[in-house]
C-alpha cells in the first residue's frame, strides 16, 4: 500500500451500510484527509458542506436489500428512502457517485483513487 500525499479534503456521504467507513479507513491509511459525513441522519441539506467544505465529495450508494444485508439492519424501506431524501443535496453536488452493490471494498477504493488521479499502480487490473 502506497501512502499518498495530497492536501485534498475528501468527504464521503451515503446511506447506512453503503461503505463509507470502509472507504474512509482505506483512504486515511493512504494518507488522505477524509471526513465521513452522517448526512443521512441530518435534516440540514447542506450539512456536508457546512461541516467539511470538501475539495471532493464522494457519494456511495447501495440498494435497500444490500444495505440491510451488510449490517443486518432492521429498518423499513421508508427509512431507507428517507435517508436518500436527506442525501439528495449531496447527491446533486457530488463529484463521484458509486453504486456499491456489486463492488468489493477494494474496487470502491480503486474507483475513488482513479477519480482523484491517485490510482494505486499495484491494483490497475481492478
Residue 1 in any domain: the answer is no
Q: pLDDT tens digit string along 5-54?
A: 578 999 999 999 999 999 999 999 999 999 999 878 788 888 889 889 99
Domain of 64? 9-121
Residue 3 in any domain: the answer is no
CATH value at residue 97: 3.40.50.300
Residue 86 in any domain: the answer is yes
Residue 126 in any domain: the answer is no
Residue 63 in any domain: the answer is yes
Number of structural domains in the chain: 1
Q: pLDDT tens digit string along 52-78?
A: 999 999 999 999 999 999 988 888 999
Helix residue spans in the chain (DSSP H): 20-29, 47-52, 64-71, 77-93, 105-115
Query: Can you tell me the distance from the alpha carbon of 89 to that of 110, in angstroms, rounded to the nearest whole number?
Result: 25
Element (H, E) at 10: strand 9-13
Residue 35 in any domain: the answer is yes
Write down the pTM of the prediction: 0.89
- Do 98 and 108 touch, CB atoms closer than 8 A? yes
Amino acid at each position: 500500500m502506497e501512502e499518498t500525499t495530497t492536501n485534498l479534503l475528501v468527504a464521503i456521504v451515503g446511506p447506512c451500510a453503503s461503505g463509507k467507513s470502509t472507504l474512509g479507513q482505506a483512504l486515511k491509511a493512504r494518507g488522505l484527509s477524509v471526513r465521513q459525513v452522517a448526512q443521512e441522519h441530518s435534516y440540514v441539506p447542506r450539512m456536508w458542506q457546512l461541516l467539511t467544505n470538501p475539495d471532493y465529495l464522494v457519494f456511495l450508494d447501495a440498494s435497500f436489500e444490500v444495505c440491510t444485508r451488510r449490517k443486518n439492519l432492521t429498518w423499513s424501506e421508508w427509512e431507507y428512502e428517507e435517508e436518500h431524501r436527506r442525501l439528495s443535496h449531496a447527491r446533486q453536488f457530488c463529484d463521484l457517485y458509486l453504486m456499491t452493490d456489486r463492488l468489493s471494498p477494494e474496487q470502491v477504493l480503486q474507483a475513488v483513487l482513479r477519480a482523484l488521479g491517485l490510482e494505486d499502480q499495484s491494483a490497475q487490473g481492478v
